[in-house]
Structures are given as C-alpha cells and as structure tokens.
Amino acid sequence: MPETDFDFVEISTDERARLDALASFEMLDTPREQDFDEIADLASRICETPIAVVNLVGEGRQFFKAEVGLGVRETPLASSFCARAILEQEFMLIPDATKDPRFDCNPLVTGEAGLRFYAGALLKTVDGHPIGTLCVLDYKPRGLSENQQVTLKVLARQVMRQLELRKALRERDAAQSQQAVLNAEIAHRMKNTLAMVNAIATQTLKSVSERDAVEAFNRRIAAMAAAHDQLLQQDWESASLFKVVSPMLALHGDGGRITTNGPHIELGPKATVSISLLLHELATNAAKYGALSNPAGKVDLSWMVDARGDEPLLRLTWQESGGPPVIEPTQRSFGSRLVQMGLVGKGGVSMRWLPGGLVARFQATMADIRGL
C-alpha cells in the first residue's frame, strides 16, 4: 500500500522528539478550557473567519484544544492542513487551496466541506519543537491584512504561554509533593534516630543516681526534635522565630506566664537549633530555680533588630520577675555552657542575676542568624 506523507512506517528521531515535547504538556484529550476558547474566538473575530482552532498535532491525529465553527474535537492527519503547517518556519497562509498543489486534492477542499482559505501560526516550544497551530479557515478564497497576521502570531504565543504555565504549575506541584514525601521520610527517620538515642541513653544512665540530669538530657532531645520539625516544614532552609519560640516554651507548660514580643524573623538552620536549645535551657532553669518556680513569677521574652551599626543585629532579651531571689551559680553546668554559646554558638551573651530575677541578653548579626 503506498505511503502518504503522514503514514510513516517508522517515526523519525525529530518527530519522536516533537511528539515527546507535545506529550510533556499533557493536553491531548483534555476538556475545553475558557482561556483557550477565548483565544480561538478572538482569532475568529479579528481575522473575520467562520472557523478558528487551537490545534495540537499528535501521532496520526490532530486534537482541537479549542475550536470555533467546527463542532468536533479531533480529526485524522491525512487531510490536515496543520500537519503541513508545522513543517513551515512560523506561519503558513493559503489564500485559495484549490490553486495550491499541496491541497488542491485534499478532501476538505474537494469534498462537501469546501474549504478554501487557511492561515496558521505555529505553536512552538522554547526548545523549538512545533506542536501545533493557532489557525483560521474560511469557505471562500481570501487573505489577511498585515495586522491580522501579526495578531494571529501574537495569539499563538499566548497559547504557548498558557501551555507552558500549566506545565510549570504541574511540575511545581509534583516537586512539592515529592518534597513533602521526602520531608516526611526524613522526619520519620530523624524521630526514630532521636528515639533510639534517647532509649540508649536511658538504658545507659539507668544506674545514675542523679535523675535530674537524665531528665535534662531527655528534654534536650525533645528540644532538638522540635527544632528539626520546624526546619522540616520549611525544607530545611529556615524557620520563623515565633514558631521556634512556641514549642520550646510549650515543653515547660508555662501556663501563659511567658510573654513574647518581637518582629517576624526568619532563622537559618544553625540559628534555629541554637536558639531552640538556648530557650529550652533558660525555661528549664526558670522552672527549677527562677521565676517559673513559683506561681507569681513571670518571664518577658522580647527581641528586636538593631540596624544602627555597620551591620544589623538581632537583640534578644530574657527577663524574669516575681520569682525567688536568685544568685549567680558558682559552677558551670552543661546547660550553662549552652546558654553562654548564645544565639548562633558565637557568644554575644550578657547575664545579670538581679534581685528581681535573671536578665539575659543575647545578640548576633542578622547575617549569622539567617545563615548567610
């Protein structure tokens, strides 16, 4: 049986690449959409033709994402004008198909349809693959003005922008879904690891008589887990200072006696972990020895960005009041050393044990806070 131009026994490499590019948009056999319908309608009105089509040229068929004046969603390629048009550089204009040797025997021209005029602007991907056309057709010979041709080309580019946008949104959603699965797996493994560390430590330290030390260790593990949870919610890039503060204070059941005040600040991963552990130690000490050890005590936690110097600084203040008299400890515990490391492990700490309660001030550059 003789072959036509489109009855290939074997698809060429270029044609396979073109079909793959078309498939990447996932538009074949999709329902009509208003955005594309409006473009086809506008093309018909501006070019003053009874037919306008947003046409995607697939394998062995052409699919109409939008159409005006046809009433069908696809036709075979054998009689397709657009299958020829995608072989052109940018634009194909057929004033009278009966006088064009490429189409004078086409059944759409010689048959009942009686098509005479065709103009199509290519739908081309950013990689240069022609996947279809925005075309207009008429039953009588005619032409298009220069403005009409320019407009048809512009509308074709708008079709491609719509296709590219939908593809980008799908890819974004797929990436976010994949990242969410990855984050869930990381969170699961991290929690399992921390739980294992906790179990090993509990078993190892079961003979230790200082149970407070064991409990402190367990709470630090919990604080570390809470910090990791905040980072996982932001793909390990940053965490809000407010969201870091809340779970740290909730671990100690402060009953609303710790007030917080400060602007929204994004913390880098290192600052997220450091500040989480720092606040955990301060709240633990306050519950044991300071303002939170009696019902009347309170803590005011505040922070601000000081932009007066050469580089902006985050200044954070922990101020206790209403608790028992406090004195500076004579021995440095592990918790005290954590506090002295400051907001990002570089110091910048001032501690004052006043009669009214502990006042601790911390500072670090915003570049260090954000991990820049």
Report if residue 222 sits inside a domain.
no
Q: Quick one: pLDDT at residue 2? A: 39
Indicate if 267 and 161 belong to the same structural domain. Answer: no
Report if residue 36 sits inside a domain.
yes
| CATH at 42 | 3.30.450.40
| CATH at 345 | 3.30.565.10
**CB-CB contact of 47 with 144 (8 Å):** yes
Residues 129-145: pLDDT tens digits? Answer: 999 999 999 999 999 99
Q: Quick one: pLDDT at residue 270? A: 76
Last residue of a domain, one of 145, 170, 195: 170
Q: Quick one: pLDDT at residue 7? A: 41
Indicate if 21 and 143 belong to the same structural domain. Answer: yes
Report if residue 207 sits inside a domain.
no
Helix H, strand E, coil C: the string for the chain is CCCCCCCCCCCCHHHHHHHHHHHCCCCCCCCCCHHHHHHHHHHHHHHCCCEEEEEEECCCEEEEEEEECCCCCEEECCCCCHHHHCCCCCEEEECCHHHCCCCCCCHHHHCCCCCCEEEEEEEECCCCCEEEEEEEEECCCCCCCHHHHHHHHHHHHHHHHHHHHHHHHHHHHHHHHHHHHHHHHHHHHHHHHHHHHHHHHHHHCCCCCCHHHHHHHHHHHHHHHHHHHHHHCCCCCCEEHHHHHHHHHHCCCCCCCEEEECCCCEECHHHHHHHHHHHHHHHHHHHHCCHHHCCCCEEEEEEEEECCCCCCEEEEEEEEECCCCCCCCCCCCHHHHHHHCECCCCECEEEEEECCEEEEEEEEEHHHHHCC
Indicate if 145 and 293 belong to the same structural domain. Answer: no
In angstroms, rounded to a whole number, what is the distance separating the alpha carbons of residues 307 and 290?
32
Last residue of a domain, one of 136, 170, 204: 170
Indicate if 162 and 246 belong to the same structural domain. Answer: no
Indicate if 25 and 157 belong to the same structural domain. Answer: yes
Report if residue 203 sits inside a domain.
no
Report if residue 195 sits inside a domain.
no
Indicate if 255 and 338 belong to the same structural domain. Answer: yes
Indicate if 164 and 255 belong to the same structural domain. Answer: no
Report if residue 308 sits inside a domain.
yes
Indicate if 129 and 271 belong to the same structural domain. Answer: no
Tokens of 179: 């990242």
Residues 296-346: pLDDT tens digits? Answer: 889 999 999 999 888 899 999 999 998 888 888 877 776 787 788 888 878
| Range 152-157, long-range pairs (CB < 8 A, 24+ positions) | 152/43, 152/46, 152/47, 152/91, 152/119, 152/121, 153/90, 153/91, 153/121, 155/39, 155/42, 155/43, 155/121, 156/121, 156/122, 156/123
Indicate if 138 and 287 belong to the same structural domain. Answer: no
| pTM score, whole prediction | 0.54
Indicate if 132 and 248 belong to the same structural domain. Answer: no
Report if residue 179 sits inside a domain.
no
Angle, helix 211-232 to helix 241-250, in steps of 10 degrees: 150
Q: Quick one: pLDDT at residue 283? A: 85
Could you say which residues of the chain have pLDDT below 70? 1-11, 89, 178-239, 248-255, 334, 372
How many independent structural domains does the chain possess?
A: 2
* Full domain range(s) for residue 99: 13-170
Last residue of a domain, one of 170, 194, 219: 170
Report if residue 196 sits inside a domain.
no
Indicate if 41 and 165 belong to the same structural domain. Answer: yes
